[in-house]
Structures are given as structure tokens and as C-alpha cells.
Amino acid sequence: MRLITHNMLTCHVKNCEDPDKQFPLRFKDAKLEQIEAERNDEFLVRMLPRLDWAALLITANELNIALPEKVPAQPENDDAFLQALHTAILETHVQEGSMVCNGCGHEYKITKGIPNMLLAEHEI
Amino acid sequence: MPKFVVQFAQFHEDFRLPELDALSQLENVAISFDRSSYSPISPFLIVDIASAAAAARLVRRGILIRSIFEYWASGQTYAEVFAETEQIRDRWALYKQSSFRFIVEAFGKSLAQEEKLRIIESFSYLGFEGAIRMKGAEAEFFVCEEYGEEPGPLKRVWFGRVVGRGSRELVERFDVKKRRYLGNTTMDAELSLVMANQALARSGTLVYDPFVGTGSFLVTCAYMGACTMGSDIDGRQIRGTAGFRRNTDGIMANVAQYGVAGRVLDTAVFDVTQSPWRAGALFDAIVTDPPYGVRAGAKRLGRRAGAQAMRSLQEIDGVANHLRDDYYPPTVAYEMSDVVDDLLAFAAARLVDGGRLVYWLPTVADEYEPADVPRHPALRLVANSEQPFGKWSRRLITMEKIRQADLDETDAGPAAAVHDPAHKNFRDRYFSRFEQL
């Protein structure tokens, strides 16, 4: 699972609704893999406003991934920024491990890069 | 404005104009034509486009378009064609020294090689002096005799200069018979590709399929340049352990086959009615074939009414049931009209403005009425194309997000129904052969 996707997922267990706690999900025992991918600046720039940058920084910090603190005023002209963003959100894969909700403690397992976000009976 | 003629493929006729409109928007090429002159039984449509370059760009991704040619002449007889060609002598001069070739076809009839040569000969008055090249000719001229689908007299002869071609070769490239991983719900290649055009999938966009199954739309939309994500309640479909051509890499086998690993971003296992997506407009398009409950059981998380007390919290060997690796949360049937209403509400909340929802709606042919197509105040209906299967059809519905909406917007869903829509209880009706229930 790439970090771009992780940045869009929250805990959705019934009654787990503290926005500060349920997002972003915290990684546990994460096994990372860097896989090169062709950079597409058009995509990166379009996605920027849809990302939660504060959350992305928290996650990058957790995983020791380099990411600039601030989004530049004109990201489309900032090659270094776009390269760092591309590497962080599109080339960094969490292949195994789990994502834990800081609010309710639910653990979402990741297997072969695919997260399982099914909820148990009592959680819906 | 100069006139061009679109040469459509003669398949999926109901999908052709919507695809043309989508291409016009995708490529930002303005087109105008007389809608009343369009006929589903003819491959040809005259359109006004600013230039040959724009015309070529318009059709390049077209799956139901074979080519586009600059209009030179047409008529019921060759005499009429020659007379009209006389009017544009100044145009012939442009190609006098160009290498050229003639392509002669007939729609609705077979032409023998000698007939084709005779036809080409009849155009020799054009006085082209350049070399004849079967490959790489600078100018390609196209003559087509249109007879139509029923045997009968010649309807029209078309003559022009080819300026662009569509992408029909992709239909073969994506043929499911050659696909590394597929299941019994895998969508055929031609329509999967058309859906990518309907969704305006292109570089810079993010497309999501909430019933991803074996991933047909993830690969076709990614092929067209979009980044894609998919989810499904059934992880086995994604991983490749279900389906009749199994593959331990699942969807990723197809991703590798078509070389789109950099753009098929992720798949995940979850129930879209209990979706973990963060709030807000995340996607440029949602492209999907929801389960109708026929070839794939339509289900959602939930406990059947009257079922035993919740098993999830009980412990087995000291571990709560729901934490065990072999725990599968219980599911209940997910009725078709609910699936569709939920899909529209989800799309209204999660699409960016101008984003597209493209999905299949199954319907009972005799009972379908346009009012059956579900509505939502934040979504505008763009296209509705039918693929008939006799007693039932499915319709490819394209909708566009027109303004932001909250997920729980209460005026969602169909307007006060005069009758039950033809897709209600579709599964039960399909298996009882559409008898009245």
C-alpha cells in the first residue's frame, strides 16, 4: 500500500469518531519497500490539495521518510519538492504490518500490500 | 468550419455518440453536428471540426471509432460524387505530388479486388502524380459504398481523405481471453475501454472502483493515463484465489501484463457501505460494475435479523473471535436498488466537481423507463447506453458531479417512484426469468 492511499484512510469503527485520534492511522511493524515509478507532475500537483499534509508529515516521521515541512507556494515549479513528494507517496509501499487506530485501538492488517479494512460485527 | 466524417465501428451502437461526446471533452476539441442526421445503422456521421489536426486528436482514443476523414464528397451514385469533387479542384492540387494510396471498402457488402481497382481507376481524373505507397503514404484517400445492414441498393458513396484513426487495436490487446487473471465477473475489453473514455480517465486524474473484482477498470483507466485505486468486500477476488483463471498475483498479474504498475496505485478489502475513506472530494472518477447478485453475490457487512447473538466478541482459546486470522465478518444480501442509491450518494460526496460516475445498471427490458435511472441532486445525467441481452439489458450510466453535497443528503435517491424501477430485486427476477413476483 502506498502512502498516498494511507493518507486517505481513517478508522471507521462505529463510535470511533475523534478526528484527532482516528486519522492518520499509525503503522505497526511496517515492512517497507521502495519501488520506482515514473513521475507524473500533473498528477502530483492535482493531488496536492486533496492530501492532508499535516497527517502525511506525522506518517513520514513515523517511518523515517524524508518530506518537506511545508508545501511551496508554486509546487509545479519546484522539482526538488515534487521529487520528494513522488518518492514519499508513490514509491514507498508498506507491504506487511498493520495500521492501528489511536482512538479505539483497532488494527487493520496489511498483507502483500493489501490492507484489510473489513469491520467486525460489533464495529458497524 | 471544415467538414469531417466519423467512421464508427458497427458495434455497441448505443454507446457511440456518448463516447464521441466524451472524447470531445477529453481532448478539448469542439465539435458540432446535426444530431438528427445520426443513425445507429450507419457507420458515418458528418461533423464540423476546426482542423484536421483537431479531428485526429479527437478520435485517437476512440474505441468505437475506426477513423475520421476530411469530407470531400458523397452521393447516391459515383456521378454525384464526381460532380461534388469538381467543386473542390483547388484541394486536389494540394496532393498532386504527394505519395498516396486509396482504401476502398463497402459497408454491408463484399467487394472483389477487381471491383476495388475499378473504383480507384474511376478517380484518376484527380490527376495525382505522386508515388503509390501502401505503407506510409502522405495522403490516404478513402472510398466507401454504404449498403447498410439489410441487403439492398447502394445508399451512399463516401469519399474523403483520412486524417486520423481510433484505438480499436486496444480491444484485441485487452482481450479477456488473453488476460492473465480473470473471474466470472470480468468485463469484456471493448466496454472496459469505452468506460475509461466515459470517465475521462487521463493523466493527472485519480479513478476509483468500489467493486473492483478482478480489476478490469483499474488497468484500462491506468492505460489511458489515470492513477487508479480499487476496493472490494471480497479479498479473494483481488488476491487471485477466486475466479476461474486463478493467478496467485491476482489483479497485479494483469497490472504487470499491461505495464501499468506505476499507475494502479492500490487495492484494499472493505465494504464500500462501511467505507474508510477520509471525508471530502477525493476522486476524479468512480468507474464500476456493481454486483447485481447474479454472477456475484451482492453483499454487505451486517448480521441477519434473528441471527444468533454476535459471535465477534466471543473468545476462542482466549482470543476474541474477531481478532483471529480466520474471522470473516458476517454479511447480508445487498439489494440492487440500495446498491445503486448508495453508489450515487457516495459519488456525490467523494467526486470532485466535474468528476464522473460511470456504472452499469441492470434492467428488465420490457419494464424499463427512463425514470428508473436513479437521480441525485448533486449529479447530472450525461449518458445512458443500452447493451441488450434479450429479456434484460444493462445500461452504462454516466453522471457528472455538479456541486458539493453531504454524504447524508436526504433528498438523494429516485424521485417519488410511480412504479418500482426495473432494477429492483433484479437478482430474484433474473433467476425466476423475470416472471411477475
Using a CB-CB distance cutoff of 8 angstroms, which residues of chain A are in contact with residue B239? 112, 114
CA A48 to chain CA centroid, nearest Å: 13
Whole-structure pTM value: 0.91
Say if B261 is an interface residue toward chain A (CB within 8 Å). Answer: yes
- Going by C-alpha positions, the residue among B207, B241, B203, B206 that lies closest to residue B224 is B203
Q: ∠ CA(A36), CA(A86), CA(A99), 5° rounding? A: 85
Asked if the C-beta of A105 comes within 8 angstroms of chain B's C-beta atoms, the answer is no
From the list A10, A115, A123, the residue facing B268 with the nearest CB is A115
Closest to B285 (Cα-Cα) out of B363, B353, B207? B207
Q: At what angle do helices B16-27 and B189-198 cross, to 10 degrees?
A: 50
- The pLDDT, as a whole number, for residue B416 is 42
A18-22, B164-168, B189-193, B346-350: which range is least confident on average? A18-22
Instruction: Tell me whether A51 touches chain B (CB under 8 Å).
Output: no
Contact A43 B277 (CB under 8 A): no
Quickly tell me which residue has 476512440 as its cell.
B62
Q: What is the distance in angstroms between the Cα of A61 and the nearest Cα belonging to chain B?
A: 20
Q: Is B372 helix (H, G, I), strand (E, B) or coil?
A: helix
Look at residues A98, A91, A100, A118 and name the one whose alpha carbon lies nearest to residue A36.
A91
Whole-number mean pLDDT of chain B? 89
Residue type, B233: I
Do residues B200 and B356 make contact, with C-beta atoms less than 8 angstroms apart?
yes
Which chain B residues are within 8 Å of A10, Cβ to Cβ?
A: 276-278
Residue A55 to residue A61: CA distance in whole angstroms? 10
Q: What is the pLDDT of residues A36-52, one digit of tens each?
A: 999 999 999 999 999 99
The helix-helix angle for B52-59 and B16-27 (nearest 10°) equals 120
* Locus of grid cell 454486483: B291
User: Would you state the pLDDT for residue B308?
Assistant: 62
Note whether A117 contacts B270, CB cutoff 8 Å: yes
Q: What is the mean pLDDT of residues B384-408?
A: 84
Q: Which of B206, B267, B301 sits opposite A119 (nearest CB)?
A: B301
Cα gap A24→A19, rounded to integer Å: 9
User: Cβ–Cβ of B310/A122 closer than 8 Å?
Assistant: yes
| Nearest chain B Cα distance for residue A74, angstroms | 17
Confidence of residue B17 (pLDDT cuts 50, 70, 90): very high
Task: Give pLDDT tens digits for B167-201.
Answer: 999 999 999 999 999 887 888 999 999 999 999 99
| Whether the predicted pLDDT of B138 surpasses 80 | yes
Mutation target among A114, A116, A123 for the B interface, most CBs of B within 10 A: A114
B24/A contact by beta carbon, under 8 A: no
Say whether B276 and A113 touch across the interface (CB within 8 A): no
A107: distance to nearest CA of chain B, Å?
9
**pLDDT tens readout for residues B196-227:** 999 999 999 999 999 999 999 999 999 999 99
